[in-house]
Amino acid sequence: MQKTAPPGGVYLDLHELQVPSIQRDSSPAAMPYGDFDIESLAVYLHLTPQQVARLADRGRLPGRKVSGRWRFARAEIHHWLEKRIGLSDEGELVDVEDVLQRSAGEEQPREIRIGQLLPLQAIAVPLAARTRNSVITRMVELAANTGWIWDPSKMVEAVRAREDMLPTALENGVALLHPRRPMSRILSQPLLALGRTGTGIPFGGAAPTTDVFFLVCSTDDRGHLRVLARLSRVLASPGFLDALRQTPDAEAAHRLIVGTENKL
Cβ 13 vs Cβ 92: under 8 Å: yes
pLDDT for the residue 87: 55
**Looking at per-residue confidence, does 246 or 42 come out higher?**
246
User: Beta-carbon neighbour count of residue 201 at 10 Å?
Assistant: 19
- Confidence grade of residue 175 (pLDDT, cut at 50, 70, 90): very high
* Section 182-190 average pLDDT: 95
Cβ 172 vs Cβ 235: under 8 Å: yes
pLDDT for the residue 255: 98
pLDDT for the residue 3: 40
Cβ 168 vs Cβ 175: under 8 Å: yes
**CA angle 42–101–188, rounded 5-degree value:** 120
- Confidence grade of residue 104 (pLDDT, cut at 50, 70, 90): low
What are the structural domains, with CATH classification, of the chain? 28-87 (1.10.1660), 114-262 (3.40.930.10)
Where b means 16+ CB within 10 Å and e means fewer, 34-73 reads ebbbbeebbebbbbbeebbbebbeeebbbbbebeeebbbb
- Kindly tell me if the per-residue pLDDT of 45 is higher than 80: no
Cα dihedral angle (139, 143, 149, 150), rounded to 10 degrees?
A: 60
- Confidence grade of residue 106 (pLDDT, cut at 50, 70, 90): low
Q: For residues 54 and 50, what is the distance between their CA atoms, to the nearest angstrom?
A: 6
The sign one gets for the Cα dihedral 23, 24, 30, 31 is positive
Q: Tell me whether the omega of the peptide bond preceding residue 208 falls within 30 degrees of 0, making it cis.
A: no
pLDDT for the residue 5: 37
**Looking at per-residue confidence, does 2 or 152 come out higher?**
152
**Looking at per-residue confidence, does 15 or 33 come out higher?**
33
* Section 76-90 average pLDDT: 72
pLDDT for the residue 85: 72
Q: Please tell me the pTM assigned to this model.
A: 0.75
Q: For residues 194 and 215, what is the distance between their CA atoms, to the nearest angstrom?
A: 6
Q: Using the 8-state DSSP alphabet, how is residue 202 labeled?
A: -
What percentage of the chain has pLDDT greater than the value 90?
Answer: 52
Q: For residues 69 and 101, what is the distance between their CA atoms, to the nearest angstrom?
A: 28
